Structures are given as C-alpha cells and as structure tokens.
C-alpha cells in the first residue's frame, strides 16, 4: 500500500485534542451503558440477568452497525484507490505568451515580463482587469540567490541591486 487511507494531524495539540475528545466519548458511552444497566437492575431486582442480556443485545447491535459503517468506508476508500491509481486525464498544454496576453487583455511585452520577472507586483482595476505590472528582475529584490554566475557578470542586475553592491 503506497498511501495510508486516513491522514492524521501529526502536531501535538491536534493529537492531544483528539485523544481528549475520544476519552470523553468513551467515558460518556460507558456511563450511559452502566447507568442503563444499573437502573434496569434496580427497578426490577427479581428479573435476574434479563436486563444484562438486553443491554448486551443493544451494544452488539451498535457494534455491528459501527462495523458495517467502517467496512463500507474502508471498502469505498480502497475502491477509489484502485480506480484512481492511474491518472486518466491528460494535462492541457500551457498557453502561449500571445494567448495569455489576449486572455488577460495585456500586451505581449507585459506577458513576456510576467514570465521573466522574479518579483511581480500586479495592480488591478476595480473590474478585475490588470492595470499595470511592476517587474523586478534584480537579485537582491527578493533576496534569492542569482540564477547563475553569468547573469551577475553580464550586468543583468537592476539599478537598485547595482547601487547596493557598488
């Protein structure tokens, strides 16, 4: 099995919360079973073990329903794992720069700058269309390392970056 069926939170606080809620649920369940059994025995002391077996039948029925639900859910998860183990959908090809520019209502130059920029700031009109784009190509603009040393040697740095280095 490559992937687990149930993914659980691994941080301490969510795990602790799950444990506390589970403990409270089991305590509540035990109290209700015990209270029902004691009440049945106290009101009819001459009935013998009949209330115990009635309670046992009820708990058995609950356990069978829980087991059926669990098997149904695990079966459904296994079925989906088997069904979707191979990706049947094909990835759509990416948009060309001219298609992207046409769909965003921008010029081809701005579309090219969008694909080449390291840090982009896009400003929009109230209707959602792109108003303008600020493109930063410099190395220190976003504190990332340079793509390669030849860019540094050929002067591809922005004016702000050159001022910082010099």
Q: Is residue 92 part of a domain?
A: no
Q: What is the pLDDT of residue 158?
A: 46
Same domain (yes/no): 16, 63: yes
Domain total in the chain: 2
User: In this structure, are residues 101 and 108 in contact, taking their beta carbons and an 8 Å threshold?
Assistant: yes
Residues 6+ away with beta carbon under 8 Å from 124: 130, 131
Same domain (yes/no): 103, 159: yes
Q: What is the pLDDT of residue 166?
A: 34
| Mean per-residue pLDDT, 26-40 | 83
pLDDT for 91-145, tens place per residue? 788 878 888 888 888 888 878 877 777 778 888 888 888 888 887 766 554 455 5
- Which sign does the torsion angle of CA 153, 158, 161, 165 carry? positive
Domain of residue 48, residue span:
12-83
The pLDDT confidence band at residue 65, using thresholds 50, 70 and 90, is very high
Of 36, 53, 83, which closes a domain? 83
Same domain (yes/no): 63, 122: no
Spatial separation of the C-alpha atoms in residues 130 and 147, rounded to whole Å: 28
Q: Is residue 1 part of a domain?
A: no
| Mean per-residue pLDDT, 36-64 | 75
User: In this structure, are residues 33 and 61 in contact, taking their beta carbons and an 8 Å threshold?
Assistant: no
Spatial separation of the C-alpha atoms in residues 51 and 39, rounded to whole Å: 9
Same domain (yes/no): 106, 132: yes
Return phi, psi of residue 87, to 5°: -75, 115
Q: Is residue 90 part of a domain?
A: no
Same domain (yes/no): 60, 115: no
Q: How many residues does the chain have?
A: 166
Q: Is residue 146 part of a domain?
A: yes
Same domain (yes/no): 71, 31: yes
Q: Is residue 63 part of a domain?
A: yes
Same domain (yes/no): 153, 131: yes
Of residues 98 and 158, more confidence is placed in 98
Per-chain mean pLDDT for the chain: 76
Same domain (yes/no): 79, 16: yes
Q: Is residue 16 part of a domain?
A: yes
Same domain (yes/no): 110, 143: yes
Q: Is residue 89 part of a domain?
A: no
Q: Is residue 91 part of a domain?
A: no
Same domain (yes/no): 79, 101: no
């Amino acid at each position: 099995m490559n992937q687990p069926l149930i993914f659980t939170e691994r941080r301490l606080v969510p795990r602790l919360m799950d444990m506390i809620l589970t403990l409270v649920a089991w305590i509540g369940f035990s109290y209700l079973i015990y209270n029902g059994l004691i009440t049945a025995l106290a009101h009819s002391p001459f009935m013998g073990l009949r209330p115990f077996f009635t309670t046992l039948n009820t708990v058995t029925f609950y356990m069978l329903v829980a087991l059926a639900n669990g098997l149904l859910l695990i079966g459904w998860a296994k079925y989906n794992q088997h069904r979707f183990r191979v990706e049947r959908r094909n990835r759509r090809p990416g948009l060309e720069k001219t298609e992207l520019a046409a769909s965003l209502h921008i010029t081809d130059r701005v579309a090219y700058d969008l694909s080449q920029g390291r840090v982009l700031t896009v400003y929009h009109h109230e209707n959602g269309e792109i108003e303008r784009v600020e493109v930063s190509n410099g190395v220190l603009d976003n504190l990332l390392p340079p793509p390669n040393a030849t860019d540094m040697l050929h002067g591809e740095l922005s004016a702000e970056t050159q001022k910082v280095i010099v």
